[in-house]
Amino acid sequence: MDISNYIDYTLLKPNTTERDIIDLCYNAKKHKFHSVCISSCYVPLANQLLQESEVKVCTVIGFPFGSMSTQAKVFEAKQAIEDGADEIDMVINIGYLRSRNYVSVLKDISDVKIVTGKKPLKVILEISELNKNEIIKASEICLDAKADFIKTSTGFSKSGATLTAVKIIKKTIKNKAKIKASGGISDFDTALKYIDAGAHRIGTSQSIKSKKSNRQIRNTKIYTDYIETVQHNDFIKTDVNNETIKS
């Protein structure tokens, strides 16, 4: 099974550099992943790098805690879209949810959805901070707010996605929204289990590839080929007859 189009290829570390984003986009195009998921400051760069490809630009809003004001989230989402983002992943206000302030949770998501319009909005629940009933309630609110996806985790909390949580979410939302499993998914076999459980998208920082044999393929040196290509091109160029000519 080819799962390339399920992958949101993710890089959200605070020390991420422009070079890291260039490498991320190169590998996303190479492996035909669905999108790159990056911090909003790098949306313009990624948008420029991916213009000639089908790879989408996804960015995060209210990340990673979700506790900023709704107005701040709305502004961030609007700016990201203006900069070229195709999809938005926003973090739910966990404190409001656990306080049972469901009206504020609904408004938080709804106001961002108004800004994103037809562009997919994924709402991150951070399941490691919630019990089963809270996961169910959060999923119901996401449906009421017209969210397109429910996402399990930021990858910055104490744990990531679980199959149990994905099944709870799937049972709650049925086919009314989609599911993104994210956090701790680093190989083909694990990704396939989440897809079988109901996930429509996989968030991962690993370059997961698949072949017809369904054998796990893990690229442990993601950037090697690209770096070698860049170094090579610094010294040579190729003419129309594919003959190498020294610069």
Q: What is the pLDDT of residues 116-166, one digit of tens each?
A: 999 999 999 999 999 999 999 999 999 999 999 999 999 999 999 999 999
Mean pLDDT of 184-190: 95
Q: Which residues contact 100 (CB under 8 A, 6 or more apart)?
A: none
185 versus 1: the higher-pLDDT residue is: 185
Task: Indicate the pTM of the whole model.
Answer: 0.84
| Residue 245 DSSP one-character state | E
* Average pLDDT of the chain, as a whole number: 89
Alpha-helix residue ranges (DSSP H) falling in 39-162: 43-49, 70-83, 94-98, 102-116, 132-144
Set 113, 151, 178, 209: catalytic member: 151
**SS3 of residue 131 by DSSP:** coil
E strand or H helix that includes residue 86: none
Set 89, 113, 122, 148: catalytic member: 89
Tokens describing residue 11? 């890089």
Mean pLDDT of 220-236: 42
Per residue in 39-68, pLDDT tens?
999 999 999 999 999 999 999 999 999 999
Cα Rg for the chain, rounded, in angstroms?
A: 19
Backbone angles phi and psi of 186, in degrees to 5: -130, 0
Mean pLDDT of 175-204: 97
pLDDT-based confidence at 223, cuts 50/70/90? very low
Contact 124, 165 (CB under 8 A): no
Mean pLDDT of 209-222: 44
Per residue in 161-174, pLDDT tens?
999 999 999 999 99
pLDDT the model gives residue 246: 35
* Structural domains for the chain: 4-246 (3.20.20.70)
**SS3 of residue 24 by DSSP:** helix
Is position 180 annotated as part of the catalytic site?
Answer: yes
Is position 89 annotated as part of the catalytic site?
Answer: yes
C-alpha distances in angstroms, 144 versus 6, 51, 149? 25, 34, 12
Q: Is the pLDDT of residue 245 over 60?
A: no
216 versus 132: the higher-pLDDT residue is: 132
Backbone angles phi and psi of 204, in degrees to 5: -155, 150
Is position 171 annotated as part of the catalytic site?
Answer: no
Rounded-to-integer distance, Cα 114 and Cα 15, Å:
31
Set 56, 113, 180, 209: catalytic member: 180
